[in-house]
Structure 1
C-alpha cells in the first residue's frame, strides 16, 4: 500500500472532472451499473506478486500471505468514464493489512495508521466514501491486550470496514518460546469500540498442531465469555458460532533459529488455526422510534482466556542457531536428529561459546525489535 495517499490525491482530482458519456459503448448503454461493477471488480482484483516472494525463514510468510499483493490497474487507464466508476475498487476490494508487531515479525513495507488516515482523508474529498471490504490485523499480544494500538486503527476518520480479522499467530502468544500454556488477557475486549459499519469481527487463534486442544479450549472460552461493542453500543456476539478450522505446514526456521523442539519433519512445523466470528446482535423487539434495541452491559469485565493443566515440553534443545548449522556446513533442511546431534556433540568450549553468542545475539535482536516505534 505504498504511496496510497499520493494515488488517492491524484484520483480525487481526476474524478471531479467531466467525462464523456460513452453512450456508443454497450458497456454503458446496455449493461446496468451493477453488472459493470462486477466486471470492474474482477478485472481489478488484487493478487500476490510472485516476483517478491517472502523469505521462508520468517514468521509472516503463510497461506495467502506468501508475497506482497498488487493490482493491475490498466483498465482504469482505458477510459475516464470507467475510471470515475471504478477508481476506488482496487483500494476497497484489497485487504487492508496492519501489523501490531515488532519489526522482525512483519514485512519490510506495511501500511501504518498514518498512511491509512492520509488516504482516507484524501478520498473523503471526492464525496465518495467506499466501504472497505476487509481489514486484517496481525497482532502480538503485548501490543494488542491493552487495546490502545488497535483502537488507534479503529478511530481512523472515514474508516468503514465491513469485516475485520485479528490474527494471533503461534509466535504472537506469551512465552511460546518456553512452550507455556496459552494465555490471553481480555482488557482489550472491554476497551475497544469497533466501527458501526462492521458486519463481522473474526479472531483467528493459531498455534502448533500439537497444541490443538489448547486452541480449542481458549476459543470455546472466548465464544462463551467475550462480547465486543461497536461505537453505537451495538454488541457483537459469537453465540452459536461454529469455529472455522484451518491447518497448514510451514518452515521451522525463524529469527536465526531452527525450532527442532516443535518439528514434525525436517525444518517443518504443523499449525492449527481456529477462527471464531462475532456478529452484531439485537433483540426481537424495537425501541419506540423503530430502531433495533441493542444489548448493552455496563460495568463488565470479561474473563481472560487460559489453557491450564496442559503438559509442557521440557526439551533441553528447543532450538538450534542457524549460524551453528552453517559453520558445520549442514543443510538448512537436514534431518532433525542430525541437527540435535550437532549441539549434543559440541561439548567443547568453542562449541559452547559459539552457541551462547548466537543466543545472546538473538535475544538482543528481539529486544531491539520490540523497542521500535510502530
Structure 2
C-alpha cells in the first residue's frame, strides 16, 4: 500500500518530484484508487486491446498542421514539411486508461528528425525535429521520452555525410549505448546523448517491477522506462541542394562527368580529384562480384560512411535512402540509384543491409524561387517541361500561395530505396 508522507502527498509523488525524468505513469500506477473501467466507452471497454493499439498508432502519427502552412517560397517547404509537424497529444489527456495505453506511443512510432547541414533547411516549430548544430533542440525531450525513440531520420548535406555525419548523429541519439541496454541520462557539452549502465535500484521505474499487478499495467514488458530502445530504423535523406554539384549546369555536367551527381558509400570523399569516378568504379567492381578498391590508406578507410552505418547503428533492421534533385537532372539520379542497387552495408555477425528490390519515386512542384538558392539552370526546371514525365506529380499543399503558379514552378524528383537486414547467405549480387 502506498504510504502517506504528510499533507496528502504519497511517497511515489515525492519520488517523482525528486526525479522529473520519470513519466506521470509512474505516479498513476502507484495510486491506491482503482482506475475507472470506462464501461460507457465502446472504444476503451468494447474493443480488444490489439484493435485499440491500431487506433492509437494511427491517431498519434505525426501530421502536418495545414492550418499554419509555411511560406511556399521557404527553402524548407517541401512534401512532408508543408507546415509545422504536430502530434495529437491531447488524446493522452482524455482519461487515465487512455493515457496509460498511449503515453509512450508518440515517441515509439514517430522518428526523430535530425538535420546536419544548412540551418536554413530546418523547418521551424516542429515536434521531434533536431539539429546537429543546435544543442538546445536535443534537450527539449524529457529523458524517458528520448529513451523510447526507436527510429531516426537524418537530412544531411553530402559534405557532412562524407565527413562523419553518420557517426555524429548516432552519438546524438546514443545508438551504441542503446545497443548495450544502457539508461538514457542527459546530454554532454557537445550535445551527445549520455547513457549509463542501469542501476540496480531506481526509485520509480524499477520500483514498479516489484509489484506484478503494477508491472502488468505497463504497455510494454520492459522494467525500466529509462533504458534506451534500440534504433532499428534509419533514413538518410539528401535534398536538392545537398549534393556537391547541385549548382552545376546541365551543359557542364555533359562536358565533365565529375560534375554529375555521384554517391559512393565506401569512399570518404567523392569530390577529390584523385577519385574522379568512384561511383562508377564501385558499380563495375560489384557487377563483377568484387568489392571496389579505391586505394585508400588505413586512415581514409575509417571515414567511409557506408561502414559507419553498421559500426554505429548495429541494431538496424531497415535503412532508407531518400534522394532528391532537380527534375532536369533526373537521368543523373537514375544512375545513382542504379549503382546503389548493388550496395550493401555490413552490420556484423554475418548480417548486411541490402536493397530489398523495391523503388519508390515521385515528382513535386515548388516555388519558382527559393530565396535565390535555386541553381543557374532553374529556368530549364519549369514544370511545363516535364508534363509527360514519370513518375506522377504529387499534391503536397492544399493550395498554392504567394504567387507560386504550377505552370511556373520548379519541379523536383525524389527516389527512395529501402535496404533490409539479411544474413549474407540469404542474398547474392549478380
1:77, distance to aligned residue in structure 2 (A): 1.4
What number of residue pairs does the alignment pair up?
275
Higher strand fraction (1 or 2): 1
Instruction: Look up the match of 2:323.
Output: 205
Query: Residues 259 and 181 (structure 1 numbering): CA distance in 2 closer, same or farther, change over 3 Å?
Result: closer
Instruction: Look up the match of 2:366.
Output: 250
TM-score (norm 2): 0.56
Which SS does the other structure have where 2:108 is aligned? helix
8 Å CA contact retained: 1:151, 1:192: no
Instruction: Look up the match of 2:262.
Output: 183
Structure 1: give runs of 5+ residues left out of the alignment: 1-5, 286-293, 296-374
Equivalents in 2 of 1:232, 1:155: separation in Å? 21
8 Å CA contact retained: 2:25, 2:100: no
Counterpart selection for 1:20 from 13, 16, 34:
34
Instruction: Look up the match of 1:68.
Output: 84
Instruction: Look up the match of 1:89.
Output: 105
Higher mean C-alpha displacement, 44-53 vs 19-28 = 19-28
Instruction: Look up the match of 1:280.
Output: 421
8 Å CA contact retained: 2:360, 2:416: yes
CA RMSD of aligned residues (A): 3.3
Q: How does 1:296-311 map to 2 (within 5 A)?
A: none
Instruction: Look up the match of 1:264.
Output: 382
8 Å CA contact retained: 1:252, 1:260: no
Counterpart selection for 1:227 from 341, 344, 352:
344
Equivalents in 2 of 1:274, 1:247: separation in Å? 9
Equivalents in 2 of 1:7, 1:228: separation in Å? 39
Instruction: Look up the match of 1:149.
Output: 168
8 Å CA contact retained: 1:165, 1:202: yes
1:100, distance to aligned residue in structure 2 (A): 1.0
Equivalents in 2 of 1:144, 1:243: separation in Å? 22
Deviations 1:21-80 (A, max 9, x none): 333525555532212212222333332123432222233211121011112222211211
Instruction: Look up the match of 1:214.
Output: 332
Q: How does 1:91-170 map to 2 (within 5 A)?
A: 91-109=107-125, 110-112=129-131, 116=138, 119=141, 121-123=143-145, 130=148, 132=150, 134-147=151-164, 148-153=167-172, 155-156=174-175, 157=178, 158-170=228-240
